[in-house]
Amino acid sequence: MSSTLRILPLGGLGEIGKNMTVVEQDGRIVVVDVGLRFPTPEMVGIDLVLPDFSYLRERAKDIEAIVVTHGHEDHLGALPWVLRELGAEGHLPPVYGGALTIAMARSKLDEHKLRDVSLNEVAITDTLELGPFSLELVHMTHSIPDSSAVALGTERGTVLITGDYKFDQTPVDGAPADVSRLAELGREGVLLLCGDSTNVDRPGFSPSESVVGPHLEEVFARCEGRIVVTSFASNIHRVQQVVDAAAALDRKVVLVGRSMRKNVGIGRTLGHIEVPDGLLVGPREIEDFPDERMVIISTGSQGEPLSALRRMAYRDHRQVQLRQGDTVVFSATPIPGNERAVNETIDRLYHIGCDVITTSDAPVHASGHGYAEEVKLMLNLTKPRYVMPFHGDFKRLRLHAQLAEAVGMAPEDIFQGENGLPLEINERGARFGKPEQAGMIFVDGVEIGDMADVALRDRRMLSADGIFIVVVTIAEQDGRSVVDPEVIFRGVPFLDQADELSDEIRATVDASLQRAAKEELREVDLLQQMLHDDLAKLVYDRLKRRPMVLPVVVEV
């Protein structure tokens, strides 16, 4: 047994989101999860952030399979883009997961017109052979049905990637995590545990999902007007509890947001959501019922710019116009990094006159990620030889490592990694290998690309300080200006100085062209660079701002 087992995280370490892990043995690869995350405010004009999977492009034909632990965007959302790129390399690997996960994957791929992909439902009792790997899914509880840990058997031993999990003893669907199988794997021997770190900073055990339903009903009972509940569209269990609370209080339910309607439809088809006949009505029927009879379930719990709730808060939604007396219930907590967007949305709701209820006001949310004691329980059940904390920023990865030490693991057997840093395990033990390329790929519209820093910088500059465009027409023979330069500016807050500054800009252009003539600079790109530097200095000296300066030189 001389080959080396490599575990290469391409996303999910040092961050919350875009989880993707490459497991490699004997030159063959299994990819676990293909997630995305949403852009931060400074990523102007960016729609989605994907892991940099260029490593997989170069190894496309070596990929045995893609395995997805569950249907959340941070584990499944990048699948269409990854498959499209791998397909361009001549290889479309098969995709494996639970029934709901595969149904959500199929829906996403249909939207992207990717219909030649092999999508395979894996039952919990199945063991599949994928080249040098064996694959087993272990049932876990999370905030979405069909969540699984992935147990990959290799000649070195079992690699257990937990996915997102909690040890909920009273889950809404009545199926707790398969603790007995985890313990059995521990007795058989787990070589490496790659564990969720999202809530390691919270002491104790996480509350059960089943406690949320009664509290939602209590909140609903106190509301006299319409109720808007916002949660993750994929949180099927939460939608079921909102439906149950609405039915108990004789309220109708409206689903708002494309992903909410789509996921609830999939959940109903697979039997994960049961809705009494006549309870659901369409968005156009909202005004047909009294306010006290209406519950709206909406996307937008994270303040996403284009989500239904965000548009409602800014009075930009075609079908739902919020008004004083409405109550908005946030049945979710902000993902780290989204707090600002969520707070902005809440403030706009207050401006309209809505009442807002968050988790600080009532227990209307239960996290799908286990707390510190559950992380310890996972470690004690599986008794791994090595541990590599996953799914968390660097603070949480360190806290997870400390918990592993607390249950008796040796520090040298705990590996705090980062994206692009492979863990290599062979007969001599485990150690980090040579870093591979890892980072971010941006989705801008429907296209993906490695958005250069300069492009994001330009977008930030445009959004903050505006743009100057200066069109200069010069004679081809001597390079002198033949007409007055045209000055166009947009988004620059200096209207009271506009005429004066425009005159100074024209004077600066003339001076720059004269200097260029003396230095015998005739190339258009060099002239444009000289004009840019001179104009940028002038604008900053006058305005103390740095708008984008775009000189355009035309020869006649």
Tell me the pLDDT tens digit for each residue of 420-472: 999 999 999 999 999 999 988 887 654 555 444 545 556 556 666 677 788 88
pLDDT the model gives residue 451: 44
pLDDT the model gives residue 452: 47
pLDDT the model gives residue 83: 95
Q: Which of 146, 164, 196, 355 is catalytic?
A: 196
Q: What domains, with CATH codes, occur in the chain?
A: 5-204+367-449 (3.60.15.10), 209-357 (3.40.50.10710), 453-555 (3.10.20.580)
Find the range with the poorest average confidence among 277-291, 315-329, 497-511: 497-511
> Is 62 an active-site residue?
no
> Is 126 an active-site residue?
no
DSSP strand pairing (280-281 vs 252-256): parallel
* DSSP H or E run through 433: none
Q: Which residue has the higher pLDDT, 318 or 83?
A: 83
Q: Which residue has the higher pLDDT, 77 or 476?
A: 77
pLDDT the model gives residue 7: 98
Residues 6+ apart with CB under 8 A from 460: 42, 44
DSSP strand pairing (467-474 vs 548-555): parallel
Tell me the pLDDT tens digit for each residue of 69-102: 999 999 999 999 999 989 887 789 999 999 999 9
Q: Is 468 helix (H, G, I), strand (E, B) or coil?
A: strand
Tell me the pLDDT tens digit for each residue of 529-542: 888 888 888 877 87
User: Residues 260, 324: contact at Cβ < 8 Å?
Assistant: no
Tell me the pLDDT tens digit for each residue of 351-370: 999 999 999 899 999 999 99
pLDDT the model gives residue 23: 98
- Mean pLDDT across the stretch 335-353? 88
Residues 6+ apart with CB under 8 A from 443: 36, 46, 47, 48, 49, 50, 81
pLDDT the model gives residue 454: 44
Q: In the sheet that 386-390 helps form, which strands lie side by side, from edge to edge?
A: 128-130, 133-140, 147-154, 157-161, 190-196, 386-390
Asked whether residue 228 carries a pLDDT value surpassing 90, the answer given is: yes
Rounded distance between C-alpha atoms, residue 124 and residue 52, angstroms: 31
- Mean pLDDT across the stretch 231-244? 91
Backbone angles phi, psi at 98, to 5 degrees: -70, 170
State both tokens at 280.
Answer: 């659901």
Rounded distance between C-alpha atoms, residue 366 and residue 346, angstroms: 20
